[in-house]
Amino acid sequence: MYGAPVDLSFKHISRLSDAWTEEPTSSLRPLKRNSKKKYRSCSLRLNNNNITDLHDLQRTVNHFLAEPSQLAWLDLSFNNISHIDQVLCELHELRVLYLHGNAIFILSEVDRLGVLPHLHTITLHGNMIETNKAYRNRVISAVPQLKTMDFSAVTRQERVMAKIWHQSNRRSRGSKETRQ
């Protein structure tokens, strides 16, 4: 089941539904198909395109993969995605998510990814959210099982700092709400 990634990068895809007519790029490891002509892979590359939203992501995964519920590695880097869509939270087996080089500008949207129990690697650098001084703490706090963020290992000290940051932020928000 762990075949080569289905590679739809550099295809000038603007809408995910546009991908359905594309043939994946071949690599050194040949793609294997099942009897229904779906790929035996748990990895999908949609990087370096012009994708702006993830509306048809589930249908795209279903279109290409023999076992869509087993998607473990998703590369959406270098597109024009501005939001962390709720559809990503439905990918329960996701372990690696590349979102670097996009246009994500609301840091709190990262919190949604905390429901992904196996997510251990994420990239978000090259997005507007990276300029927020709480960026790394917020992401590590939101997804505490992360091992790697932006191609850099998450250290024990960073986990401690993210936990402290989260607790102090929760307290300060709580005190603001009681004053209002």
Confidence bin at 108 (pLDDT 50/70/90): very high
β-sheet bridge partners, residue 39: 33, 65
pLDDT in tens, 54-102: 999 999 999 999 999 999 999 999 999 999 999 999 999 999 999 999 9
**pTM score, whole prediction:** 0.93
The C-alpha angle with vertex 95 and arms to 170 and 71, in degrees rounded to 5, equals 125
Per the structure block, which two tokens stand in for 128? 């507007």
Confidence bin at 28 (pLDDT 50/70/90): confident
Confidence bin at 170 (pLDDT 50/70/90): confident
Q: Which of 61, 54, 109 is nearest to 81 (CA)?
A: 54
Average of pLDDT values for 139-154? 97
Q: For the chain, what is the mean pLDDT?
A: 93
Q: What 3-state DSSP class applies to 179?
A: helix
Confidence bin at 174 (pLDDT 50/70/90): low
| CATH topology classification for 6-179 | 3.80.10
